[in-house]
Amino acid sequence: MTSISLLRSSFRSLLRRPWQTGLMVMGIALGVAVVVAIDLANASAGRAFELSSQALVGRATHQLVGGPAGIPDSLYTALRVEQGVRSSAPVVEGMVLAVGLERQPLRVLGVDPLVDAPFRDHFGLAGVDFVDLARFYTDRQAVFVSPDMADRYGWRVGTTVEVQVGAHLETVRIAGTIPPREGGSSAALDNVLVMDVAAAQELLGQVGRLTRIDLILGPDEADVLRGRLPEGVRLVPAGEQTQTLGQLTEAFQLNLTALSLLALVVGMFLIYNTVMFSVVQRRPVLGTMRALGLTGGQLFGLVLAETAVVAAIGAAAGLGLGWLLGRGAVTLVSQTINDLYYVLAVREAPLRMATAVKGIALGLGAGLAGALLPALEAASVPPVTAMARSSLEARARRWIPWVAGTGVALLGLGSLLLVWARSSILTSLLALAGVVVGLALMVPAATVVLMRMAGPVMRRAAGALGTMAARSVVRSLSRTGIAIAALTVSVSATIGVSAMITSFRSTVANWLDLVLRADVYVSAPGPSGAQWGTNLPPDLVARLESVEGVAVVEPYRTVLVSSEFGEIQLTAVDGRRQRDAGLYRFARGTPEQIWAQVLDGAVIASEPLAYRAGLAPASASIRLETDRGPRTFPIAAVYYDYTAERGALIMTLETYHRYWDDVSLTSFGIFATPGQGLDDLAARMRRELGGTGLEVQVNRALRLEALRIFDRTFAITNALRLLAVVVAFIGMVSALMALQLERSRELATLQALGCTPGQLSRLTLMETGLMGTVSAVLSWPIGLALAAILVYVINLRSFGWSIRLQIEPGLFLQALAIGLAAALLAAIYPLHRLTRAEVAAGLRQE
Amino acid sequence: MIELLDLYKEYAEPGRIRAVLRGVSARIDDGEFVAIRGRSGSGKTTLLNLIAGIDLPTRGEVRLDGVAVSRMTAHQRTLMRRSQVGFIFQFFNLIPTLTVIENVLLPADLAGDSRPDALVRAVQLLGRVGLEDRQREFPDRLSGGEQQRVAIARALVQGPTLILADEPTGNLDEETGDRVIDLLEELARQAGKTLILVTHSHRIAARADRVLAMEHGLLVPAPRPRGLKAQARPAQP
């Protein structure tokens, strides 16, 4: 027999089972699609970040930076004139909101085209052909945008755009477009308004200040310059800040990738089931082939080859589907990045070669890995006879203790690794995978035990059919065990992730109660956090205090400052109100003692910062770059914080003003006089602040908004979790279909003996119901273990957040419902076949 | 009494209609032992399936005690099989997930018969087929002959009036096959059951009251094989 006829026979057998082959393709396709979608979303977000960083940083080697208020522009003059540093360019950066575009955040970039050419292609003199320099300098409202952006928003030269800047509404005018340079991308300038540096200072309320000075320096020049800098100004390598910012999202993206791989792993179970079924069904044919001279090795290769073809088709379909899903995923991922990290405009998720190769390789790899055991099984088919299915199952049952033992070993190894890998997220995720796979390997053994327990109950409840249902699950364990394991893993992941999200949400909700103590909050619109750089004038305090019904106005200043642990968020607060005792994770002394230290110049550090920097709460201090130079601040306590993953500090405004020349404010907490209606108070404040565009929110609304953002950040996690359940569900359908096909003669015999279609349906539903129930019951402890690992290990190591694990009983019922629904839905097609199957044909089957 | 009236069974195949039965007519009396012979694919099993109401004829009618099987609903045919027909298959068709006693009890269980009563009958039948000490075994622990004896007990447990045996010795060696047929014939004749047995074996067919052959889609009387003495037909119960 030639290899071509072998392959022909193989592929015909695939075509003869279109449903099963289709399910196999779908399993791989869905798994690959999820991985590809997440990879595309992550890569697109990364690429957008990289492009915008390149556009902003350009070819600068170093940057001069200051505190939150920036650096005086006189320093630039001194640098060029007195110190002769010619390769320098002033930059003013800030964020505004386009009022007419549903408050779309836009980045303002103020540059001087006369000196910018060595740094950035877009804005230098090299670009005079497309930038009308006269307008650039003379029109203080002139901004230049990318052609894509102008097209998207329907802007023409002369169009005016209203923007919100802090507490002001301002107008800018489109003066022209900046086409991308050769080889460049228009996406680099997406949502960027380029304007003259002086005009940008005026627009952003930073007259006399620069955000930074970009420099091109050799190593020696840098050392010389560093020695001559005034207090509060630092020379840093270019891109250091953006690089740190980029690293922040790594843990988030890694966690998403891990979750996306879950769908592929579940898809692998599906491949195993389908290929094993195909091998078992063809045992007589395979035996004949052996008798005709085919070696075990050739059979092994044959099974792998046909699986590879199916997996390749699945992977290709998965690429297409992943590309489509990627469009949705990129929105969710970039939304989360915007909510949690930094403002990023990601519009597309183009299919990259690297992602395509990764998707195809993962699909093929998962397919071949899933087919490995069935291929070994095929290779072991004796030449003379087709081994009975019962012998195969007997062998499978003999393997159960070994499989379970391997599971225990993996579980142990994973647990040890979890303890050992103290800080590595990747190792922690690998350890988690070890724990999950270990527990999954114990599922078949647990199924045998549970079915033995269920047998007598089923007999009492449903007679011989009940007994058959329980025993047939065990009898076909080589198949049912895998299907149950796949569903168990998916449902466990659902329990684990749900419990983690619920716990997290409840922790955050409690925390919000501790943090949001004011009755009404006033802030500039736009994303929260210091990266926004909102500058509100201090005279707003008096204006707010004048509103009827206001007892106290608490001003807050939130900025980014440099520390020995990188850039962190610093919030300066009104020292009159000490913080709630429940807010402290670790503390030295009573809340009163802590606050006394804070009033004395100490800071309190957020938990993520303490975790990341390894700050010991008892004796820690932190060095910050202030406008007076580096200063060390004692840490009085560590507080719970779920806003700034980069780490945050709290100090009093008094301390802040002592070390930073920045009187601007970021937001205000308003305490009402007793008996005030908060909605009325908020309405009066809105009237008072009319024309400023500032947002006034009562405590309740702000709390709801915070939780809404929380839910939004977990939208993609939920979507991935559901997809894994869908793949497992397909696995269950495939397993059940295989079982029903295998048992056609048995079922026909039952009908010949007087079993009604109703009784047959009950039998099938009992079998699938038992499988679903076992999956759900086993997923409870596994889900709990997963939840605990996610909460206490993965989340802590990824983000530094401590979460109080909270398990709601409804979660277990939900898991049971998912398990049962998946199993019962999976029975629909087998039931449909049963009612249509001809008994006579079934009896004829060998 | 079983009446087969001008039975046709046709199967649609790509490009043609294949007729397996082309006007089969016959009458089988209560308590009669009829052997049906014929070449592979001649339609013997199809005929048994039509008699049991497992399959329906394209034309013609099967009547059991005057009732037309083909006019019954699927549910009625199932109930008819439960109460009136006992089936024995070439490959035994025992349910692998049920023990010997559970397999024998299965038709009673499907019919919802009271357990103690059915259990007594099942144990008695297992005693008759010599397997009372193997009640708790699963089928895969039994030999082929033992499995077929369990199948005989299962076919008789509900006290059917008609036993249909489709090549019951086809998967057994000659000696074991003979013992199985001895047992089947003995039990059927003692209880006065009608036994229709499909076989390739001349020797086994010679034991029947009447031998019919399927030829070209028709059921025709077949001569008794020479040298084999026909057994006397037992008296009606």
Nearest beta carbon to residue A752 from set B83, B87, B102: B87
**pLDDT of amino acid A758:** 86
Number of domains observed in the structure of chain B: 1
A290 and A304 fall within a common domain: yes
What pLDDT shows up at residue A199?
Answer: 92
Burial of A467 (0-12, 13-18, 19+ CB in 10 A): buried
Examine the domain organization and report whether A641 and A778 are in the same domain.
no
Please give the pLDDT value at position A131.
Answer: 53
Asked if A753's CB is within 8 angstroms of B102's CB, the reply is: no
- Inside any domain, residue A86: yes
If DSSP codes are grouped into helix, strand and coil, which group holds residue A724? helix
CA terminus-to-terminus distance, chain A: 25
Task: Give B162's strand partners.
Answer: B85, B194
Q: Which of B49, B54, B93 sits opposite A745 (nearest CB)?
A: B93
Task: Give domain status of residue A701, yes or no.
Answer: no
Concatenating the DSSP letter of every residue in A760-817 gives HHHHHHHHHHHHHHHHHHHHHHHHHHHHHHIIIIIHHHHH---------HHHHHHHHH
Structural domain contains residue B149 = yes
Per-residue confidence (pLDDT) for residue B232, from 0 to 100:
36
| CA nearest to B158 within chain A | A753
CA dist A543 → A223, A546, A668 (Å):
48, 5, 12
Q: Average the pLDDT over B181-210 and give the result.
A: 89
Residues A310 and A448 in one domain: no
Rounded Cα–Cα distance for residues A37 and A309 (Å): 22
Mean pLDDT of A260-277: 69
pLDDT over 50 (residue A386): no
Question: Mean pLDDT across the stretch A740-762?
Answer: 82
Q: What pLDDT, in 10s, does the model give residues A33-42? A: 888 888 887 7
ipTM summary value: 0.80
CB A494, CB A487: distance < 8 Å: no
Q: Is the pLDDT reported for residue B237 higher than 70?
A: no
Residue in chain A nearest B106 by alpha carbon: A464
Question: Does residue A501 share a domain with residue A569?
Answer: no
Residue A314, pLDDT above cutoff 60: yes
| Burial class for A308, CB neighbours closer than 10 Å (0-12, 13-18, 19+) | middle
In-domain check, residue A448? yes
The whole-chain average pLDDT of chain A stands at 80
Encoded amino acid at A335, one letter: Q
pLDDT of residue A2: 46
**pLDDT value at position B229?**
46
* Contacts (Cβ under 8 Å, ≥6 apart) of A531: A245, A341, A342, A343, A560
Q: Do A464 and B102 touch (CB under 8 A)?
A: yes
Q: With respect to residue B152, please indicate whether it lies within any of the assigned structural domains.
A: yes
- Name the minimum distance, in Å, from the CA of B129 to any CA of chain A: 20
Q: Are residues A14 and A163 in the same domain?
A: no
Contact A702, A668 (CB under 8 A): no
Instruction: Label residue A387 by pLDDT band (50, 70, 90).
Output: very low
Q: Exposed/middle/buried for B223, CB within 10 Å: 0-12, 13-18, 19+?
A: exposed
- With a pLDDT cut of 90, the percent of chain A lying above it is 13
**% of chain B with per-residue pLDDT over 70:** 93
Token readout for A767 is: 């079998």
Range of the domain at A672: 525-693
- What is the rounded average pLDDT of the residues B67-82? 87
Angle at B146 between CA B142 and CA B152, to 5 degrees: 130
For residue B11, being part of any structural domain is answered with no
- Cα atoms in the 13 Å half-sphere on the side-chain side of A201: 19
- CATH number assigned to the domain comprising residue B150: 3.40.50.300
| Nearest-neighbour CA in chain A from B164: distance (Å) | 11
Q: What is the mean pLDDT of residues A567-592?
A: 80
Shared-domain flag, residues A100 and A194: yes
Q: What is the CA radius of gyration of chain A?
A: 32
Inter-chain CB proximity B81 and A752 less than 8 Å: yes
Q: Would the pLDDT of A466 be above 70?
A: yes
B13 within some domain: no
Sheet containing B59-64: order of strands? B16-28, B2-13, B59-64, B67-68
- Does A699 reside within a domain? no
Least confident window among A393-407, B59-73, B143-157, B216-230: B216-230
**Residue of B21, B58, B78, B91 for testing the chain A interface, max A β-carbons within 10 Å:** B78
Q: Is A161 helix (H, G, I), strand (E, B) or coil?
A: strand
Question: Which of A187-191, A460-464, A593-597 has the least mean pLDDT?
Answer: A187-191
Please give the sequence-ordered ranges of beta strands (E in DSSP) within A262-370, or none if there are none.
none
Q: Is residue A162 part of a domain?
A: yes
Residues of B with Cβ-Cβ distance to A753 under 8 angstroms: 81-82, 87, 106-107, 110, 154
Nearest CA in chain A to B86: A753
**Between β-strands A566-573 and A584-587, what pairing exists: parallel, antiparallel or unpaired?**
unpaired
Model confidence at A618, pLDDT cuts 50, 70, 90, reads low
Neighbour count for residue A104 (Cβ, 10 Å) = 15
Please indicate, yes or no, whether residues A644 and A760 belong to a single structural domain of this protein: no
Contact (CB, 8 A) for A380 and A333:
no
Sequence-ordered list of residues with C-beta below 8 angstroms from that of B46, at least 6 positions apart, any chain? A840, B9, B20, B21, B55
Establish if B8 belongs to a structural domain.
no
Nearest Cβ partner of B75 from A467, A753, A756? A756
Q: Is B131 contained in some domain?
A: yes
CA-wise closest residue to A547 among A694, A664, A701: A694
**Is-contact A49 A188, C-beta < 8 A?**
no
Mean per-residue pLDDT, A707-725: 74
Q: Is the pLDDT of residue B194 over 70?
A: yes
| pLDDT at residue B100 in the model | 94
Q: What average pLDDT does this structure show over A472-482?
A: 82
Token reading at B207:
């034991």
Distance, in angstroms, between B53 CA and closest chain A CA? 9
Give the number of residues written for chain A.
Answer: 846
Task: Give chain A positions within 8 Å (CB) of B20.
Answer: none
Residue A653 and residue A606 share a domain: yes
Write the single-letter amino acid at A617: P
| CB pair distance less than 8 Å for B78 and A755 | yes
A318-347 mean pLDDT: 71
- pLDDT tens sequence across A283-292: 767 776 776 6
Structure tokens at A806: 């909270």
More confident residue, A532 or A119: A119
Q: In chain A, how many domains are there?
A: 4
Instruction: Reply yes or no on whether the pLDDT at B222 is more than 70.
Output: yes
Q: Report whether pLDDT(A743) > 80.
A: no
Q: What value does the mean pLDDT take over residues A741-763?
A: 83
Residue A820 near residue A776, CB atoms below 8 Å:
yes
Q: What is the pLDDT of residues A808-844, one digit of tens each?
A: 888 888 888 888 887 787 778 777 776 666 676 666 6
Regarding whether A600 and A678 lie in a shared domain, the answer is yes
A533, pLDDT greater than 80? no
Between B207 and A328, the more confident residue is: B207
Res A1: pLDDT: 44
* pLDDT of A196 higher than 70: yes
CA A517 to chain centre: 30
pLDDT in tens, B105-157: 988 888 887 667 888 989 998 988 889 899 999 888 898 889 988 999 999 88
DSSP H or E stretch at residue A26:
helix A18-57
Domain boundary among A352, A387, A422: A387
Q: Which residue has the higher pLDDT, A745 or A262?
A: A745
Of A12 and B101, the structure prediction assigns the larger pLDDT to B101
Do A355 and A213 fall into the same domain? no
CB atoms near residue A449 (< 10 Å): 11
The 10s digit of each residue's pLDDT in A334-358 is 666 666 555 556 566 677 788 888 8
| Per-residue pLDDT tens digits for A647-660 | 889 999 999 999 99
C-alpha–C-alpha distance, residues A560 and A530, integer Å: 6
A541 and A685: one domain?
A: yes
Which residues in chain A have Cβ-Cβ distances shorter than 8 Å to B102?
Answer: 464, 467
| DSSP-derived 3-state class of residue A70 | strand
Distance CA A63, CA A673 (A): 48
Q: Which residue range is the domain that position B165 belongs to?
A: 29-55+73-221
B interface with A, Cβ–Cβ < 8 A, is 45-46, 49, 52, 54-55, 74-75, 78-79, 81-83, 87, 89, 91, 93, 95-98, 102, 105-107, 109-111, 140, 154, 158
Same domain? For A534 and A588 the reply is yes
Query: How do residues A782-816 score in pLDDT, each as one tens digit?
Result: 888 888 888 888 877 777 777 888 888 888 888 88
Residue B104 lies in a domain: yes
Q: Smallest Cα–Cα separation from A762: which of A468, A364, A393, A369? A: A468
The CA distance from A397 to A399, in Å, is: 5
